[in-house]
Amino acid sequence: MQFFNGTRLGSFLQTLLYITGVPLQTGDHRTGTGPGGLGPSVGLGPSVSASVATRGLLSLSLGLSSDLGGSNLGNGNFNYTRCYGVLGCIRMKYPRQRGFELFPQEVSVIRPSVCLFVSADRRCQPLEPDEAAIRRLFLGGQPSTDRTQPPFAPTPPASAFASPTSFWITHGYLENGHRTWLHEMVGELLTHDPAANVFVIDWGKGAEPPYTQAATNIEVVGAYVGYLMSLLDDLCGLRTSAAHFIGHSLGAHMGGVVGSWLRARGYVLGRISGMDPAQPYFELFPPDARLDSSDALFVDVIHTDASPLLHGGTLTGLGTQEPCGHADFYPNAGRDQPGCNDGVVQAIVQEKGSFLYGLRRFFGCNHIRAVEYFLESIRSNNTCAFAAYACESYEALERGECVVSCNRAEEGQGNCNRMGFHAKKPRLSPRAFGAVDGVPQQHWRTGDGEEVSVKDSVLYYSMTGTRAPYCRESK
């Protein structure tokens, strides 16, 4: 099915989808072995309302090398590497397969900011990429020397961390740090763990159109966040291994960039939760070009928008269907979410009367639903388990062929787990399900219907309600 190519209707629909934040991709985008084994240049990002001083941003981008030039696909003389000062060098990944070649914009252009929120003071406290500023903010100017004690001693007016736990939240394309869901998540996380440190990453200027540039910008923003994490680990004892990165859409893949940047420098990221990772220019690409289970000690993913935008068409959904974590959750088969066909008026109402965000919600309802599920999973810890089950397929779950009982002692060990914040790393490999209770080895289907064996992920299926609260599995 063609997407009205060359017609006014087609132009109108493509323009509408573009301005509402829906990237377009049609056809086969699988990769071969491109020149040099180049990796991803797509990105995700968040935005925070805080204005971080530019001090330090210019120094991060010093050492820039190689000019972009014109179109150089297939040009053997083109330099596919560009360096960004202390953030390191970034190699353009799979430009031939993606059909474009772009480097991330400079940090001084994107101007990412990171805000810290703690229970004692829920106002934004800007985090700067500067050792002296970090010591002033967290240690009152004094480095931590006793690593046997909590890493942050209360030293007013500096922020005092009572716990080494940290959460890092980020958004995706066409969003920024003002989005309501980001601040709702900050509140839910601090309610769940009052001693936690919650960081919100704002890279709104880097998340602007075109989508290809925004997707590329996650590479440098992810390196920027990794650099901040490493400074906090070195200076303050806030361990990267205790950090939990939570990202939506392009932001989910940014978590993969952060994890790989840290791993290359001897650190390890504790956990990444991907909320419907972006599909265009990521799905079916090698692991170094997208979020992958190797990017953190535990990677869990919620898939909600893998269906084509037009029935029978080639215009892909916004989220990936491909498993990319240790635990991949597919509520309602990871495709059409209940309640997402209620019309544009209802979407505008849900966005508090905003026409633009209402349109985005209408067109991207399935994509946004992953955020809503994750938010609800934090607050519903004592009321609903968001239970999900590993079985052959979602259709098998609908037919009642899966074991659908689960208690906390079994979560992550057998064929059950909890979707969202309380998910646990599976203790069984996906191939183990071929010998447990007669459950066949797990598979997933690509957009063109090809069945692929699962190698590294355990796939969990569940059902949700039409309206919040979405969880249908009571304890």
Helical segments of 286-425, H only = 344-350, 355-363, 365-379, 394-398
Are 419 and 411 in contact by the 8 Å Cβ rule? The answer is no
d(CA 328, CA 274): 9
Cβ neighbourhood burial of 140 (10 Å; 0-12, 13-18, 19+): middle
d(CA 138, CA 236): 8
Q: Cβ neighbours of residue 286 under 8 Å, at least 6 residues apart?
A: 31, 39, 94
Backbone angles phi, psi at 374, to 5 degrees: -65, -45
Decide if 248 is catalytic: no
Query: Which residue from 155, 182, 196, 144 is spatially nearest to 49, judged by alpha carbons?
Result: 182
**Which CA distances in Å does 6 have to 2, 12, 14, 114, 315?**
10, 11, 11, 43, 15
Decide if 249 is catalytic: yes
d(CA 50, CA 46): 12
Catalytic residue (one of 233, 244, 248, 276)? 276
At 280, list the tokens: 């265009």
**Which CA distances in Å does 96 have to 31, 75, 211, 250?**
9, 11, 17, 21
Alpha-carbon dihedral sign for residues 151, 155, 158, 159: positive
Catalytic residue (one of 244, 367, 377, 393)? 367
Decide if 437 is catalytic: no
Catalytic residue (one of 144, 159, 249, 273)? 249
The DSSP-derived string for 400-468 is T-S-----TTTTTTSSEEE-STT----SS-GGGGGSSTTPPPPEEE-TTS-EEE-SS-EEEEE-B-SSS
Active site residues: 249, 276, 367
